[in-house]
Amino acid sequence: MTDIIDGKAFAAKLRDRVGEQAAKFARAAGRKAGLAVVLVGEDPASQVYVRSKHKATVAANMESFEYRLPADTAAADLLALIEKLNADRAVDGILVQLPLPAHLDEQAVIAAISPDKDVDGFHVTNAGRLAVGQSGFVPCTPLGCMMLLTDRLGDLSGLEAVVIGRSNIVGKPMAQLLLDANATVTIAHSRTKDLPAVVRRADIVVAAVGRAEMVKADWLKPGATVIDVGINRLPPAEGEEKGRLVGDVDYAGAQDVAGAVTPVPGGVGPMTIAVLLRNTLVAAHRAEGIDLPEGAL
């Protein structure tokens, strides 16, 4: 019987713990931890994400600062805002919602954020810190995946893990986290030869490629733990207004083989915002020189 890994329930518990620690922080520091979110343009999906982040931040006893800029905002104006937020002691975390309009250089914008306020974990300094084992911020989605994995499996030492996808946002940091946990890690991608055979030897599979239901049941090792990061909308079937959301894994088929699997939606997705709040609270404690109790988050 395959276990369904309930990311929604896990994320709710994490948000509760963040809220409790955030209230303690506010009493100790005389202020709330603060997250600033910058949205450039009117991308509908981005607007939904920003609203969700605002609601979750306030619910977690933290300050939410929103900056909504027109789509034609000049790069100099956006960078000036980031410089202002870097210097603002009320702001502990800065998140610039991606994607940005085409005329703005995403890498330049990310590079302008202070690494100590880069709660998305995208800055090259934080990527470097992760690579060499120093304390920094890890991108929210892979860190959330690791939380689900360790909750399910405990010690990952010696387990064989395959990460499908090599993005800077998920694939590469996910592989590094697994390596740090003493798993044996393979990063697979579009050029990997005989991808099904590579995946089939894995005790842990993390799929993050953005291709609907690409990973089939016969790719999986019996009993494997499968973390599905993908979120894809299928074309609507006859009579449907919108197509259903699916992951990168054939979820129905995986349930006949895997030991555990995350659903889509309700698996990895809810973890991302919960970890963002966690990272912001960690940043606030560091900024004020206040110790966060070990294991609190």
Reported as a single tens digit per residue, the pLDDT across 255-270 is 999 999 999 999 999 9
Give yes or no: 120 in active site.
yes
Domain match, 93 and 146 both: no
Domain match, 265 and 145 both: yes
Domain match, 145 and 87 both: no
Instruction: List 206's β-bridge partners, or say none.
Output: 163, 227
Alpha-carbon distance 154 to 76, whole Å? 47
In a domain, 134, yes or no: no
In a domain, 135, yes or no: no
In a domain, 82, yes or no: yes
Number of domains in the chain: 2
Domain match, 147 and 230 both: yes
Q: Is the pLDDT of residue 125 over 90?
A: yes
Domain match, 163 and 109 both: no
Domain match, 166 and 246 both: yes
Ranges 121-125, 153-157, 214-218, 243-247: which has the least confidence: 243-247
Query: Contact 61/21 with Cβ under 8 angstroms?
Result: no
Domain match, 150 and 112 both: no
Give yes or no: 53 in active site.
yes
Read off the pLDDT of residues 175-209 as tens digits, 9 standing for 90 and up.
999 999 999 999 999 899 999 999 999 999 999 99
What is the average per-residue pLDDT within 154-161? 98
In a domain, 41, yes or no: yes
Residue 105's domain is classified under what CATH number? Answer: 3.40.50.10860
Domain match, 264 and 173 both: yes
In a domain, 123, yes or no: no
Domain match, 113 and 201 both: no
Instruction: List 36's β-bridge partners, or say none.
Output: 65, 94
Q: Is the pLDDT of residue 45 over 90?
A: no
Q: Is the pLDDT of residue 106 over 90?
A: yes
In a domain, 1, yes or no: no
What is the average per-residue pLDDT within 238-267? 93
Domain match, 178 and 60 both: no
In a domain, 3, yes or no: no
Residue 228's domain is classified under what CATH number? Answer: 3.40.50.720
Domain match, 146 and 264 both: yes
- Catalytic residue, chosen from 53, 117, 172, 221, is 53
- Catalytic residue, chosen from 92, 116, 118, 120, is 120
> Among candidates 6, 4, 1, which has minimal Cα distance to 271?
6
What is the average per-residue pLDDT within 225-233? 95
Domain match, 182 and 97 both: no
In a domain, 70, yes or no: yes
pLDDT band at 239, cuts 50/70/90? confident
- Catalytic residue, chosen from 21, 32, 92, 97, is 97
- The residue segments making up the domain with residue 65 are 28-117
Average of per-residue pLDDT values in the chain: 96
